[in-house]
Chain A
Amino acid sequence: MSAQTGVERSAEPRSSRFADRVLQPLRTWRDHPNPLWMREMRQAARVQATPIALAAITILMTLLIGSVGGLMGSSKSSPAEIGAVLFHTFFSLAYFVVALVGPALGANAIASEREGKTWEALLLTGLRPEVVARGKFFSATTSIALYIVMLAPVGALPFLFGGVTPGEVLLAFVVLFGIALVAVGFGLALSAKTQSMRGALVIALLSAVPLSIFAYTLLGVGGASLARELWSAPTARGLGPIWLPVAYGAAPFGADYVLFLVVLPLLVVLMPAWFLYEVSLANLTSVTEDRSFGLKRWFLVAIAVLVALSSVSYAYRGTHTFGRAFGVVGLAFLGYATFGAYLFATEPIGPSRRVAMLLASRGRWRRALSPGVVPTLALQRWSFRVGFIVVVLVDLFCAYLDTRPGSAAVYTFGSEVRRVLVWGGYVLAFAEFVFGLVAYLRARSKGGSGVRPILLAVLFGAFAGPWVFAAILGILAKGGDAIVAAPSPLYVLTHVFPAIRTSAPGRDAALLASGTAAFGYLVAGVALARVGARRARQIIDEHRAVLADAELRLAQEDEVLRSAALEAEASIAAPSTEGVSRPSEAEKADPSPSLADPSSSDQSA
């Protein structure tokens, strides 16, 4: 039953007809919608500022598009060119509207509950975090969809000029909606963590501005460039920043089409959306529950995706860029290791009592993804090692194929092996260090709040510190080999990695320095991980001992109380004998408990 829609749940058995089974979720959605979504829509309907904001944005956008169209028209461009320019202008602007309004709407969602002190009431209704997250997500998405719908007539203007097909406009709106989903999810994830609406809004906007510009540059401008290279400008108007909807119609169907226009766009939307969803859920879940499982599951899938993309990337490298590909892949893995360490930096030392009890009945797979410093460390290390080794093997296999006799490869298999060993070994050692450092810091930290800043400081020191040191020594100014910068992964990537195939002077010294640095990272990482894991286990054991002691005391007390209750019952049941006074008539008449009533001793049972 839904009190908000007033619809009772049907008592009839479910129909087995295919049409009914298909329509059932829609009927459920209509009759028993997410309660939070329903309530938020009711609230939103009473907020008078919403239509004003919508109208203001639409009017501004219309004026902007009109101005661009007018300027283009005055320069005697053809209608088709005007249409194409308006198309890119409108959807670029719409992208920024969505990329900024989406996080702002999402940011209000949960922070408003916390700030309004309704969060605990909501939590105690028994609504699962998934339902809360979905309800908030739907309501914010509905609001952003309103913005998109209001903008739709303006977005259709380019179509009137020609140069853009209706399908491209429609696809562009679909892509815009996909971006809106991620933008709302981003705001929601921030909102789930923050306590105040103002804080959530400020953080969301401050992050959304650079991120949206970065994404526009990378995926819009950079993506268009890549698409032009791949499909050599399929249409006369070329591929602008809003290239994806155009490319769907223009690019020839094939493996590139599937990879770049289907798989990658889906991954670009789904992986961040899933991550943001899991982050939201983790932050909506009580600290005593298992907040790790979803994020760890995502972490594993993400590394699998990274391995797959890295492997596929080898197919797109030329023989001249072969070595660079592995350099970039190694850097991507380093980034991923750092990100993973940062993500799980505030893991609890071990599972709570409740989680431990629940995990006891679960399988090994579920326990491997349980909260705690030790399982997290194991997950990070092993997933990284396996993933990276797979990528290394794929690289070597591709190199083997490339360097078979008769090929035009400009390198030898042996040189590629050396490069992989140097850079790959360094990456693995550095990742060990990062994981070990986080485990150590978390085990030593009381609440985990200081781990992330320290981690960032150490990483900054590791990446930039050796260069700063080299600059202070004046090595950089003199143009000498900055061998003292070997502890920085950037030095290995930029100086050692390209030099392996050459016989440049100082190469061996640089290799030795890099090897020493990698060995140092490995030893430090293993040592930190061991100390951290030992400390975490010690804390867990101590806590368990305290709990066991408390349980023992409670059990002893229960026993004492049970004995007292039995004695009291026995004394009531026993006939009145010497030493026990008979109850007076007044006492018999009054059944109310008196202080001397033996049953009062039974209360403790």
Chain B
Amino acid sequence: MSRGATDVRRTGTPAIRVRHVWQRFGARDVLRDVSFDVYPGEIFGFIGPNGAGKTTTIRIMATLVEPMSGRVEVDGIDVTMDPETVRRRIGYMPDHAGVYDQITVREFLEFFADAHEIPSLGVVDAVLELTDIGHLEHQLVATMSKGQKQRLQLARILLHDPKVLILDEPASDLDPRARIEIRDLLLDLQSLGKTILLSSHILSELSDVCTSIGIIEQGQMVVAGPIHEIADRLARRNAALQTGNDPQAAALGASGAPAMPLGGTNLAAPVPFAASERRLVKLRVLGDLTAASYALHGGPGILDVSVLGRSVHVGYVGGEQKVAEIVSHLVHRGFGVIGVEEERSELERIFLEATGAAASRGGTP
């Protein structure tokens, strides 16, 4: 069974807070009123096509660029006003980060440990162990594979024990095995309490690890927040648009900005458990698959059930609660459920719906 990210309670001070950020290069606005929050312990997927403004936003968070206006706070500290403190609290891995080839892995980490003025000699051993590259410590960096170099980069940014990790396209150009290893490493880091923001334009990279997402297109946030909340909000909006009787949802659509004003925090009104769209879930079940499919057939919210290969595919209406009910139902009937996987990544669906909705509103975001 594949590992997944642990959902995080979005309370307290956000670990990263981006508020009304504008940035312009030349005559082009590369960021337009971008706002979102990332809460402690979250893995936040920052999604957008190439040139959407992901890297600029990330570079602002990493104190490498000063925003024209707006404010970005990391762990409550303004990146513009106190970049030194922010740098001590973040670990930033840029897209295609370079390495020093002619030194060994240990020497590489020792150098960065010294540069960070880390007061403990054992920290290099600790990160080597954490990132599972201890066996490579005496190997020249030049001889490492891309995946190993990415792990080395992760080791580098962990040396000073930052609270927040900012990773720009961490899995780009990696082979499948290396991607899986990086994903598992990120989940380990989340379990250690790190807040992680990672950007990508490859949704499959993010779908397994992220607890929250932000979608950016042409410099504007399209949507941001926890995945399930966005899914429900989209479903609610779709339902409202179909019936035409929900002024709030209609207003969201008309305003052209489904992104929540402050990073997915427009949640004052409880979200009803309602979804009008058919979803598909793939269940890996022990025992008689046909019997399991009969057990589910005709249940409330279940639209169709079929057995394909070694899994049961269930079409249903509802949110994550419904999936939990389906699993619970099977378990009560004595079937062992060893895997649950959305047939189409929910993230892909959200991305298509959110960006499609934005595009249909007149060409903007």
Residues of chain A lying within 8 A (CB to CB) of residue B119: 1, 9
- Taking a contact as CB atoms under 8 Å apart, the answer to whether A116 and B111 are in contact is no
B359 contacts across to A, CB distance below 8 A: none
CB neighbours (8 Å) of B140 from chain A are 46
Query: Is B113 positioned at the interface, with any CB of A under 8 Å from its CB?
Result: yes
Of the residues B7, B90, B96, B270, contact of A124 by C-beta under 8 Å: B90
Q: Mark A357-390, 1 if CB is under 8 A from B, else 0.
A: 1000000000000000000000000000000000
- B11 close to A602 (CB less than 8 A): yes
Tell me whether B90 and A42 are in contact (CB under 8 A): no
Q: Is B137 an interface residue (CB 8 A)?
A: no
State how many angstroms separate the Cβ of A451 from the closest Cβ of chain B: 17
Q: CA separation between A127 and B114, bound complex, in Å?
A: 10
Which residues of B lie under 8 Å from residue A357 when comparing CB positions?
81
Query: Contacts A3-B110, A124-B87: A601 and B267 contacting too (C-beta < 8 A)?
Result: yes
Tell me if B19 and A554 are in contact (CB < 8 A): yes
Tell yes or no: B181 within 8 A of A by CB. no
The answer to the question of A165 belonging to the interface, with a C-beta cut-off of 8 Å to chain B, is: no
Contact in complex: A118, B98 (CB < 8 Å): yes
Chain B residues near A43: list those with CB within 8 A: 100, 102-103
CA distance A287 to B83 in the complex (A): 13
A446–B114 CA distance with the chains assembled, in angstroms = 39
Main secondary structure on B side of the interface with A: loop
Question: Residues of B contacting A122 with CB < 8 Å?
Answer: 115
Closest A-chain residue to B88, C-beta based?
A126
Selected from B100, B262, B270, the residue in CB contact (under 8 A) with A595 is B270
* A564 CB–B CB distance under 8 Å: yes
User: Do A117 and B116 form a contact, CB below 8 Å, given A43-B102, A126-B88, A354-B83?
Assistant: no
B97 touches which of A8, A38, A121, A127 (Cβ 8 Å): A121
* A553 touches B (CB below 8 Å): yes
In the docked arrangement, what's the CA distance between A220 and B187, Å?
Answer: 66
B20-56 interface code vs A (CB 8 A; 1 in, 0 out): 1000001000000000000100000000000000000
What 0/1 readout, one digit per residue, does chain A (590-605) give for beta carbons within 8 Å of chain B? 0011011001111110
| Closest B residue by C-beta to A567 | B268
- Considering only CB atoms, which chain B residue lies closest to A123 in the complex? B64
Q: Which of A35, A43, A595 has the most CB of B within 10 A?
A: A595
Q: How many A-B residue pairs have CB under 8 A?
A: 149
Write out, one digit per residue, whether chain A residues 31-48 have a CB within 8 A of any chain B CB (1) or not (0): 000011011001100110
Task: Say yes or no: is A67 at the interface (Cβ < 8 Å to chain B).
Answer: no
CB atoms of B271 and A120 under 8 A apart: no
Q: Which of A6, A38, A599 contacts B121 (CB 8 A)?
A: A6
Task: Confirm or deny: A352 has a beta carbon within 8 angstroms of a beta carbon on chain B.
Answer: yes
Interface centre among B80, B124, B232, B262 (most CB of A within 10 A): B262
- Selected from B63, B68, B97, B121, the residue in CB contact (under 8 A) with A1 is B121
A561, chain B: closest CB distance, angstroms: 7
Neighbour of B99 across the interface among A6, A46, A118, A123, CB < 8 A? A118
Mask, A566-605, CB within 8 Å of B = 1, is 0000000000000000000000000011011001111110
Asked if B116 contacts A39 (CB within 8 A), the reply is: no
Q: Is B163 an interface residue (CB 8 A)?
A: no
Query: Which residues of A sit under 8 angstroms from B118, Cβ to Cβ?
Result: 1, 3
Residue of A nearest to B8 (CB): A593
Q: Which residues of A contact B156 (CB under 8 A)?
A: 121
Q: Is the CB of B265 within 8 A of A39?
A: no
Is B102 in contact with A121, judged by CB distance below 8 angstroms? Answer: no
B111 touches A39 (CB 8 A): yes
Chain B: minimal CB distance from A127 (Å): 5
Q: Complex: how many Å from CA A287 to CA B9?
A: 38
Candidates A9, A46, A547, A593; contact of B102 at CB < 8 Å: A46
Q: Which residue of B lies closest to A550 (CB)?
A: B69
Q: Is the C-beta of B284 less than 8 angstroms from some C-beta in chain A?
A: no
In the assembled complex, A286 has its CB within 8 A of some CB on chain B? yes
- The answer to whether A604 touches B111, judged by C-beta atoms less than 8 angstroms apart, is no
Alpha-carbon separation in the docked complex, A604 to B35 (Å): 12
State the Cβ distance, A284 to closest chain B Cβ, in Å. Answer: 13
By beta carbon, the residue of chain B nearest A353 is B80
Interface 1/0 per residue, A152-164 and B, CB below 8 Å: 0000000000000
A-B contact pairs, 13 of them (CB 8 A): A1-B119, A1-B120, A3-B110, A36-B115, A42-B107, A117-B98, A124-B64, A124-B92, A125-B160, A353-B80, A353-B81, A550-B69, A604-B262
| New A-B pairs, 13, CB < 8 Å, besides A3-B124, A125-B115 | A4-B107, A6-B121, A47-B102, A116-B98, A118-B97, A286-B64, A353-B66, A357-B81, A550-B71, A553-B20, A554-B70, A561-B262, A561-B265
Listed in ascending order, the chain B residues whose CB lies under 8 Å from chain A are 7, 9-11, 19-20, 26, 39, 62-64, 66, 68-71, 80-81, 83-84, 87-88, 90, 92, 94, 96-100, 102-103, 107, 109-121, 123-124, 140, 156, 160, 228-229, 232, 261-262, 265-268, 270-271, 273
Q: Which residues of A contact B (CB under 8 A)?
A: 1-4, 6, 8-9, 35-36, 38-39, 42-43, 46-47, 116-118, 120-127, 286-288, 352-354, 357, 446, 546-547, 550, 553-554, 557, 561, 564, 592-593, 595-596, 599-604
The 7 closest A-B pairs by CB, nearest first: A117-B98, A604-B265, A125-B115, A35-B114, A596-B270, A3-B110, A3-B113
